[in-house]
Structure 1
Amino acid sequence: MKQFLIKVGVGALVACSAHAQQAYPDRPVRMIVGFAAGGSTDLVARIVASRMSALLGQSVVVENRAGAGGTIATDAVAKSKADGYTVLFGTSSHAINASLYKKLPYDSNDVVPISIVASVPMVLAVNPAVKTNTAKEFIDEIRKHPGTYSYGSAGKGSALHMAVELLAYQEKLQVTHVPFRGASQAIQSVISGDIPFITDAVSTAAPMIQTGKLKALAVTTATRSSVLPNVPTMKEAGFPSYDTSIWNMVMVPRGTPPAVIDKLGATLLATMKDPDVQQRMLKLGVEPVQGSTPEKAAAFVGAETRRWAEVIKAGAIQQE
């Protein structure tokens, strides 16, 4: 009888555990975003969260925890309970920060990727007074006059900063970085002529380009941008090794149950196949990514982390 009761007890626990996993989610899910409300990352997160809510049958609530290049948000998720009710809407800053900071309050492996959902192309743009009209001409000018050209960014270690550092690393250029508190201030400085160029997200630079306030030379991704279809890629401009973007990815704390990861992964696959989600992203200048899996996402993050570590080391870039 005692053995029978033990078996029944164990069976009941297994059944309860299975039921709990099948029931996920049975309450709202928090999606932590490491950047301010109203920005490109926040807008994309809200598009994804809205569709996920409909598919999961529970609200996916976006919570902004801006600061320190996304590390505050990542730390919050890394230290949260690994039950699938707190997820991170991560960006390319996750791979950059792993080498940028001397010490982080978390280990980069404390959050694991579920799915890449979007890629935001950037564009190499100059003040209209700059005489060169192609990326190759402009980069040749920089090479001829080392140290005389400056560029703006949203701050040290930002994707905008690192996009130029990648180019400088690959092409052995000497340029001067001018960090600003945000991308909008950096763009205004280029428009006013205080600094000659910037690499900025297409989603925010496109209106300035379309009105003639900035001159676009090339987009940074392997394919052209849907909002700037007439602007060539850096590869088309003669730089075959150059390809970078601001990517967005959903991540969870390490130790999250496999069944929960599977549920989130399937939900994100369905989300990114939704035509309305795709159209809303494209209108922002954001390229939706379909077909990502945890395995693909993890391999991508690993490759990105190694690439940025190399660029950061070569440029002696460090954030306290």
Structure 2
Amino acid sequence: MAVFTPVSIEELIPWLSRYDVGQAQEIKGISSGIENSNFFVTTDQGEYVLTLFEKLTAQELPYYLNLMYHLAKHNIRVASPIPDRDGGILGTLCGKPAALVTKLDGNWQERPSPTHCAQVGEMMAKMHLAGKDYSLFQPNLRGLSWWQETMPQVIGYLSEENAAFLQEEVALQDAFSRTDSYGRLPFGPVHADLFRNNVMFDGERLSGFFDFYFAGNDTWLFDVAVAVNDWCIRLDTGEFDDARLTAFLEAYQRVRSFTADEDAAWQTILRAAALRFWISRLYDFYLPRSAEMLTPHDPTHFERILRLRAASTASLSL
């Protein structure tokens, strides 16, 4: 999250009058993240989150917003869009598509424990199963084709060694995506960005997932890999913390068992998850957009994780 488009309280008040959420009292920009303009909105009835979409169009947004709404109706703990009085969940504010969503209680966990990881793993598995009957389809827009399109834009900023490594990893994922075993991996709507700061805990209880605006249809295993590459690592080294990783995977498997194809693909998909964020962080670091509140993430973090995953073996312990 960030603020690319400022919104004043004077601009908010008439826009918010379409919703049954009370009178606007305060609007405050949210600094974390890198894609949209986000704000905490306080009214005389409660607190909400307002998002102005900077890249996604009004034609693309129904996939994301309706997915959140669908999951909430299936008892998955997620931030959910709030309909206006006409039943719409997407509007326009300051010339940008905009949505108001519920604000989850609590805070995100900077230093998660195995207990936190287990709750995230369990809820992710439930989310995957709940998404099976979601009617809309959209590919993961930050998937392989995006990596291939973006690599030429960032590779010139890299050392010769890192440029070669990046090309090799993209080629490996391209080859794997063409295999029969990849085609057999369970597939459906995924969050695709479930980092620590996209999950809220109220005390020790998971209160919900949010920021679904990188969601798309992909392998469920990719979603798991993205999550454990953040939730279950030591941030200073990128290495897995075995207790947290075991807690996450075991909790997930109590809801949905991994397949033999998923076990065989695990290391490759862990590499794919690290590669996706290395490329996106390279792009955001070297080709940043202007924003009032934005600090690009250091891309070397995911380069390190990718090198670790490429050099190791991994199993889902089937």
Same fold (TM over 0.5): no
TM-score range, shorter chain: under 0.3
TM (norm. structure 1) is: 0.22
When Rg is computed on C-alpha atoms for both structures, the one with the higher figure is 1
Structure having the higher strand fraction is 1
